[in-house]
Amino acid sequence: MPQRFNLEFEWLHLAYDESQAFTETYGFAGNQGAVNVEGILIRPRDQSSDTLQVYMHPASTLQLLPVPREAAHRGAHVLCAGSRYARNDTACILEKVLLDLGAYIRHAKEVLGYKHVVLVGWSGGGSLSLFYQSQAENPSITGTPAGDPIDLAGARLIPADAVVFQAAHSSRAQLLLDVIDPSVIDEDDPDTRDQSLDIYGDQVNPPFDTAFLERYRGAQLARVRKITANVKDTLERLRNVGGKEKERGFVTHRTLADPRFLDPALDPNDRPIGWCYLGDPETVNSGPVGLARFSTLRSWLSQWSIDDTNADGIKCAEQISAPLLLIENSADDAVPSYHCQSVFKAAGTVDKQYHRIDGATHYYVGQPDHLGRAIDLTEGWLADRRLLGR
C-alpha cells in the first residue's frame, strides 16, 4: 500500500493590475483596476517537494474533487487554482484565464520556490492547460476573438515542465457542439422546435441511423453558427453606436442533447445510458444549469464559438513540446472518448503517452481503485521524467 499523508490546506490570494474597459466580474474579483484570484495550496505534512502540480478549470474550483486530494494524500504538492471567473463562467474570456494561470505559475516559481510545475488538466482544465502551454511556449495571441487587445506575448507566461490531460475534452466549444440541441428554431422561444430533431420527443428514438445523425450534427453546427453571427452583429452594432453600452448578456436554451446519451452504439464505452454527469440529460437540457446557458457576447466567442475560440485543444496540442500524459476514463459520462484520442493523435511533442482506465467515471466518485490507478499512472510517469519532486 502506498504511504498516505495527512494534509495541510493554505488559502492563496494573488492580485495583479489590469486595465479594463468595463467591469465583467461581480464584486471585487476583477474590478477596481486589479484582478484578484484565490487558490488552495494542499500539501502533505512532513513531505517536501520541488514540484507543484497545478489544477485549474476556467470556471470551477477543484479542491473538493477526489483527484487533487488523493494526489496530495500520496505525497504531491498541489495547487487548486481558481480563475477570476470561478463558479461563474458567464463572462469568461479564456485568454484572460491564461493570465490568471500565468500569475499562479510565476508565484509558484518565484515566491513559493518550486523548481518544477506540472499542469494537471482535468475535465475543462485539459484544453485550458494545452492552451496555456501552447501560448507559453509559442506566444502569438494579441487579441481576443471579439477583437479586444490582450498581450499574451508580452505576459511572459512561464511554460510548465509537463502536462497531464485527464478525463478532459478537447475544447469547451467542441463539447458544446457535441451536445447543443439542434431542434430549437427560435432562440427567444425554446418551445418552438423542430420535432424531427428532438431526441427527447416522440418522433425519433434510438438507435439513430447514419442519415439522421448527419442531419442532426449539421443542424447543431448551424445553430452554433447562427448564434455566433448574431453575437458578432450585436457587438458591431454596440461599437457603431458609440455609447456607453459595451457588452450584453443572453441565454442559450437547451444545450444538453447529445445522441450519445441515449444510444450506446455511438462512440461506445462503459458510460451509463440515459444519464450524464449533470443527471438526467432531458431534464438538464431545459434546466438552469448547462453549458453556455448564460453568456456575454465576448464570452461566447472566446469559449463557445467553434469557429472563433483560440482554446482548441487539438490545435494547441500540435504546438507544445512538453511531455504529455493523456488519461481516458472508459465510463466517462461527461467527455466523449474521441476527445482524448483526438488530442493524443494531434499532439506535437515526441514524449506523449496514452492510458485508459477501464470502468472509471468522470469524477471517480465511489471508485477508490480507479482513482488510485489514475494517481499511480501520473506518479509513475512523472517519476520517469524526474518530475515527481521527492
Question: Do residues 167 and 334 lie in contact, with contact meaning Cβ atoms separated by under 8 Å?
Answer: yes
Q: Is 192 helix (H, G, I), strand (E, B) or coil?
A: strand
For position 106, what pLDDT does the model report? 98
Region 355-377: mean pLDDT is 95
* pLDDT at 262 > cutoff 90: yes
Per-residue 3-state assignment (H helix, E strand, C coil) for 326-358? EEEECCCCCCCHHHHHHHHHHCCCCCEEEEEEC
What cell was used for 188?
A: 427567444
28-70 tens-digit pLDDT: 666 667 899 999 999 999 999 999 999 999 999 999 999 999 9
The whole-model pTM stands at 0.96
For position 191, what pLDDT does the model report? 93
Q: Which residues contact 184 (CB under 8 A, 6 or more apart)?
A: 190, 192, 193, 223, 253, 254
Phi-psi category of residue 46: left, alpha or beta, with phi > 0 → left and psi -120 to 50 → alpha: left
Question: Do residues 305 and 322 lie in contact, with contact meaning Cβ atoms separated by under 8 Å?
Answer: no
Q: Which residues contact 332 (CB under 8 A, 6 or more apart)?
A: 167, 269, 271, 360, 361, 362
287-312 tens-digit pLDDT: 998 899 999 999 999 999 999 999 99
- Which residues in 3-36 are b (16+ Cβ under 10 Å) and which e? eeeeeeeeebebeeeeeeeeebbeeebbbeeebb
Region 17-32: mean pLDDT is 72
C-alpha span between 277 and 334 (Å, rounded): 5
Q: What beta strand segments (E) does the chain contain?
A: 7-17, 34-44, 51-57, 77-82, 116-122, 162-166, 184-186, 189-193, 249-251, 294-296, 324-329, 352-357
Is 330 buried (19+), middle (13-18) or exposed (0-12) by CB count in 10 A? middle
Give the confidence band of 244 by pLDDT, cuts at 50, 70, 90. Answer: confident
C-alpha span between 322 and 159 (Å, rounded): 8
The candidate with the shortest Cα–Cα distance to 266, out of 327, 202, 338, is 338
Share of the chain above pLDDT 70, in %: 98
Angle in degrees, 0-180, between the axes of helices 94-110 and 124-137, rounded to the nearest 10: 70
Q: Which domains are delineated in the chain? A: 7-171+310-384 (3.40.50.1820), 174-304 (no CATH)
135-178 tens-digit pLDDT: 999 999 999 999 999 989 889 999 999 999 999 999 999 999 99
